Amino acid sequence: MIQYRKILELHFNAISQRTISTSVGSSRNTVSDVVKRAKNLGLERLTDTMTNQWLEELLFPEKQAIEKGYSPPDWEKVHKELQKKNVTLKLLHTEYSQKTRDGKKIPYAYRTFAENYGKYAKKHKATMPIRRKPGEVLEVDWAGSTLFINDRESGGKLTVYIFVATLPYSQYSYVEGFLDMKSASWLTGHIHAFEYFGGVPESLVPDNLKTGVTKALRGEPILNEAYRELADYYQTVIVPGRVRSPKDYPQTQIIFKKP
Q: What percent of the chain has pLDDT over 90?
A: 23
Q: Does domain 137-248 have CATH number 3.30.420.10?
A: yes
Domain ranges, ordered by start, for the chain: 1-59, 74-127, 137-248
What is the value of pTM for the model shown?
0.47
Summarize pLDDT for 7-41 with one digit per residue, the tens: 999 999 899 999 998 888 888 899 998 999 888 88
59 and 34 in contact (C-beta within 8 Å)?
A: yes
Using CA atoms, how far residue 32 sits from 2, 27, 46, 123, in Å, is: 13, 9, 18, 21
204 and 190 in contact (C-beta within 8 Å)?
A: yes
* pLDDT class of 69 with cuts at 50, 70, 90: low
Per-residue pLDDT for 144 more than 80? no
What pLDDT shows up at residue 119? 76
Query: Can you tell me the distance from the alpha carbon of 187 to that of 231, in angstroms, rounded to the nearest whole number?
Result: 10
What pLDDT shows up at residue 132? 59
The residue among 124, 145, 41, 84 whose CA lies nearest residue 95 is 84
80: phi then psi, degrees, rounded to nearest 5: -65, -40
Summarize pLDDT for 246-258 with one digit per residue, the tens: 444 444 443 444 4
129 and 140 in contact (C-beta within 8 Å)?
A: no
E strand segments, the chain? 137-150, 157-167, 172-178, 203-206, 213-217, 220-223, 237-238
The highest-confidence range among 60-69, 79-88, 219-228, by mean pLDDT, is: 79-88
* pLDDT class of 124 with cuts at 50, 70, 90: low
Average model confidence (pLDDT) for the chain? 79
